[in-house]
């Protein structure tokens, strides 16, 4: 990928950034110009690493004059192409704006820069006897700004909700270079529109998140993890209902036998049971509820909804069991999977599963299909794996062509074509399956208000 940065353009960028804040080498462009989708052509003009809000403001104000667009970039762990720079954009990496700025102990609020890695916020909270509950497999590399931009979910949404719930305040730079400081960490603030929530989930199309005030919780009691062998998908819903009626769950995940096979082949982990099962459920709950959990297990086993079960007896055992579920995404990455991140209301899941299974068996009989997800909050991940002899382009074209049939089922049940991964480039052309034309028009109007020059993450989420 040859760099097309002219000396004239380099001098313009140098008016805002020092030499060590600019990268134009082909290898760097390829690294910072993409995310985990790995299926889009990458062609950024340059990567810049701002170290202050003022530098971002200057860049945003000069970008229209320079005739370039900007792609905000966090940990680049997204799965929808939201951080891809395909058309000579400047990638704005928040990697160097990664500090914890202030801790409001009484309020249990941390003010941090957008480039702070999610795991670092979790560790900071733990060091103060507190807890940041949003967690997922990429927490060691994803950044808070990216989490906010995509309203990240993860494994404990059933108890703690999405990222939006924990954003107490935001500082953003809009597409006109204005700096907005939103809500200031207040619990109660009835002074008109809460603009903070417009930027949560906006995928960098309305403004660049530069700072955030994040709420923390007291540390939860020790958690216990149970993994169950389940004969079919429909039994998983019966198991979920039984356990939810008996105790409060922190997580309820599921994954298929094929998903488990991929994890075992990729990592040094063992099968939880001697014999394979079509599906597995992973539950997490307060260890103080272990007697109720064990009694509930006996009931679901007697009902034939589970074949076997294992319970963690220590923190290390709990982590090992979680690895069976958390290792899936990494273990299938080499297959360049076509990811469907879909959701419906929990009550719609049984009928929806039947519909999806019919589409999968009809259109993908020759392909490996890996199921997993956060079924406790209605979120399913359907991953179609690319055969090694098929090119990425041909594979994606085939899957993309079938998506409308799947998305029509979601539309019929008023679900979401993207439960937690965002829309980005991957699902932009299918947005109408989850949003009405009227909603899309309002979203386009908001885009014009906050980014009238169209320089912020163009063609992501909304078509130009």
254, 342: one domain: no
Percent of the chain with pLDDT over 70: 99
Domain end residue (candidates: 289, 306, 330) = 330
What mean pLDDT value characterizes the chain? 94
Number of structural domains, the chain?
A: 4
Domain end residue (candidates: 77, 96, 115) = 96
- From the list 63, 35, 143, the residue with the least C-alpha distance to 46 is 63
Q: List pLDDT tens digits, range 212-236.
A: 999 999 999 999 999 999 998 889 9
123, 209: one domain: yes
pLDDT surpasses 70 at 70: yes
Q: List pLDDT tens digits, range 285-317.
A: 999 999 999 999 999 999 999 999 999 999 999
Distance CA 248, CA 421 (A): 26
Q: Which domain holds residue 114?
A: 100-218
Q: What number is the average pLDDT over the span 14-38?
A: 93
Determine the pLDDT at residue 3. Answer: 52
Domain end residue (candidates: 302, 330, 358) = 330
63, 109: one domain: no
Kindly state the helix (H) or strand (E) to which residue 285 belongs, with its residue range.
strand 279-286
Q: Residues 168, 215: contact at Cβ < 8 Å?
A: yes
Distance CA 98, CA 106 (A): 23
Instruction: Kindly state whether residue 30 falls inside one of the protein's structural domains.
Output: yes
Distance CA 139, CA 117 (A): 7
86, 123: one domain: no
Distance CA 200, CA 207 (A): 10
- DSSP letter, residue 428: G
Instruction: Kindly state whether residue 81 falls inside one of the protein's structural domains.
Output: yes
Instruction: Kindly state whether residue 60 falls inside one of the protein's structural domains.
Output: yes
**Which residue shows structure tokens 């994890």?**
263
Q: Please report, for the domain that includes residue 157, its CATH number.
A: 3.30.465.10
Tokens coding 259? 């998903």
Q: Please report, for the domain that includes residue 398, its CATH number.
A: 3.30.70.2740
127, 187: one domain: yes
Q: Please report, for the domain that includes residue 264, its CATH number.
A: 3.30.70.2190
235, 344: one domain: no
């Amino acid at each position: 990928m040859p760099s097309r940065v002219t000396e004239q353009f380099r001098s313009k960028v140098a008016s805002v950034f020092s030499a060590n804040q600019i990268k134009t080498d082909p290898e760097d462009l390829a690294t910072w110009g993409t995310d985990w989708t790995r299926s889009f052509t990458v062609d950024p003009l340059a990567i810049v690493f701002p170290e202050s809000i003022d530098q971002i403001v200057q860049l945003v104000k000069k970008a229209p004059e320079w005739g370039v667009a900007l792609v905000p970039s966090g940990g680049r762990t997204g799965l929808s192409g939201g951080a891809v720079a395909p058309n000579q954009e400047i990638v704005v990496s928040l990697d160097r704006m990664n500090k914890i700025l202030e801790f409001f102990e009484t309020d249990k609020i941390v003010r941090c820069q957008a480039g702070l890695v999610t795991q670092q916020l979790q560790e900071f909270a733990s060091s103060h006897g507190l807890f940041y509950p949003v967690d997922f497999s990429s927490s060691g590399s994803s950044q808070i700004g990216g989490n906010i931009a995509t309203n990240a979910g993860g494994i404990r949404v059933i108890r703690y909700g999405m990222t939006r719930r924990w954003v107490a305040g935001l500082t953003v730079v809009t597409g006109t270079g204005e700096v907005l400081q939103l809500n200031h960490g207040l619990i109660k603030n009835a002074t008109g529109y809460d603009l903070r929530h417009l930027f949560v989930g906006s995928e960098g199309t309305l403004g660049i998140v530069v700072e955030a005030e994040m709420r923390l919780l007291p540390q939860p009691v020790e958690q216990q993890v149970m993994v169950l062998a389940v004969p079919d998908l429909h039994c998983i819903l019966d198991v979920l209902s039984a356990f939810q009626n008996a105790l409060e769950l922190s997580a309820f995940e599921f994954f298929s036998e094929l998903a488990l096979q991929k994890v075992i082949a990729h990592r040094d982990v063992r099968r939880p049971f001697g014999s394979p099962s079509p599906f597995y459920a992973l539950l997490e709950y307060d260890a103080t509820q272990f007697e109720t959990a064990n009694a509930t297990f006996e009931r679901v086993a007697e009902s034939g909804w589970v074949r076997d079960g294992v319970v963690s007896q220590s923190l290390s055992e709990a982590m090992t069991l979680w690895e069976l579920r958390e290792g899936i995404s990494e273990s299938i990455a080499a297959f360049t999977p076509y990811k469907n991140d879909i959701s419906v209301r929990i009550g719609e899941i049984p009928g929806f599963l039947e519909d999806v299974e019919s589409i999968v068996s009809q259109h993908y009989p020759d392909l490996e299909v890996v199921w997993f997800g956060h079924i406790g909050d209605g979120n399913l991940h359907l991953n179609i794996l690319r055969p090694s002899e098929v090119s990425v382009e041909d594979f994606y074209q085939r899957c993309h062509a079938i998506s409308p049939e799947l998305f029509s089922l979601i539309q019929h049940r008023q679900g979401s074509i993207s439960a937690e991964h965002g829309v980005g480039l991957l699902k932009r052309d299918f947005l109408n399956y989850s949003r009405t034309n009227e909603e899309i028009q309002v979203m386009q109007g908001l885009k014009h208000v906050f980014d009238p020059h169209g320089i912020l993450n163009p063609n992501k989420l909304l078509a130009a």
